[in-house]
Amino acid sequence: MSSTDSAGLRHDWSLDEVMALHALPLTDLLLRAQTVHRANHAPDSVQLCTLLSVKTGGCQEDCSYCPQSSKYETEVGAEKMLSVDQVLSKARQARATGSTRFCMGAAWRDAKDGPAFENVLSMVRGVRELGLEACATLGMLTDDQARRLADAGLTAYNHNIDTSREHYGEIITTRSFDDRLQTVARVVKAGISVCCGGIIGMGESTRDRCEMLRTLANLEVHPGSVPINALVPVEGTPLADQPRVDPLELTRMCAVARILMPQAMVRLSAGRTELSREAQLLCFMAGANSIFYGEKLLTTGNPDVLEDQRLFADAGLKPMAPYTSSDPTVQATRDKGPIAKPGSVSLAARAIQPAVEPGE
């Protein structure tokens, strides 16, 4: 008999069970995933998140997929950290286009105490004052850093496990799989919602993909958000010659993630530029209900805002309001940190209107 927590969520999935789900005929898998999705989420609502690189390049890690690594010769060089004012200006722009979560990423192996970390805390406070959910991804954290981020009002922290434990050493050697799990545990302890997923298309097997999802689903607390990324091969990185991921493979991953983690936001993340409108809608049918919204994902491309607005309008989808996810930790963070200043607008409360090109 399977064990469930007080919310009825399972944390004891076997690899055989997950692989059996993944192997279902796609129509059967989609039906199961959509049924779970509708039992836990509004079927026509999608969370809009914007991701900004606040410190680009020069990372000491050797992640084989990442153009920001200092180990590889890519077109992404080390840049100065953006100022608090620059970041908050971008956050206002994101809010104006309808985003409700603003994510800030720094190309660090681990967060270092000092002026740069203090600036991140100021960024988090400023984003919260705009009425947005605030997310950060800064590498590994100490317990004290996680606590300080929580006190500043951070809604979520992203720290992906990337792949299965078995395949992990083929992709990264400068940080262990357990290092990643320890940071996730610190984030949970601090009362911040965990954003944790992985990447497919890095030469892994189907077994590796299923084991990655099983690891996430068997954590003591399910991630509040599960980003499903398709590798974006970048010239100069070791994975530059990997073939593009088949959209149906991405759909399967979204569906299995939805079934294993019913209350999580399943985020259709990197690689969305390679998907047709129809393929994106298939992923939404599979249970994806969150996207990165805007022209850039740290250093790689993303569909532009006008394209996304047209897709949402044509499909009858609407943006999710902030702090309305099923994740109780997200709800709890609403009362921590700064209160939104008067005049901040929750643009996600309105439907996205059909986009109009300038001059039309």
Catalytic residues: 59, 63, 66, 103, 135, 195, 267
Q: How many Cα atoms within 13 Å fall on the side-chain side of residue 183?
A: 22
Query: What is the number of residues in the chain?
Result: 360
The closest of 356, 345, 337 to 128, measured between CA atoms, is: 337
Q: How far is the C-alpha of 60 from the C-alpha of 68, rounded, in Å? A: 9
The closest of 326, 318, 327 to 349, measured between CA atoms, is: 318
User: What crossing angle do the helices spanning 115-129 and 143-152 adopt, rounded to 10°?
Assistant: 30
Q: Is 106 exposed, middle or buried (0-12, 13-18, 19+ CB in 10 A)?
A: buried
Give the pairing of strands 296-297 and 300-301: antiparallel
Q: How far is the C-alpha of 168 from the C-alpha of 171, rounded, in Å? A: 5
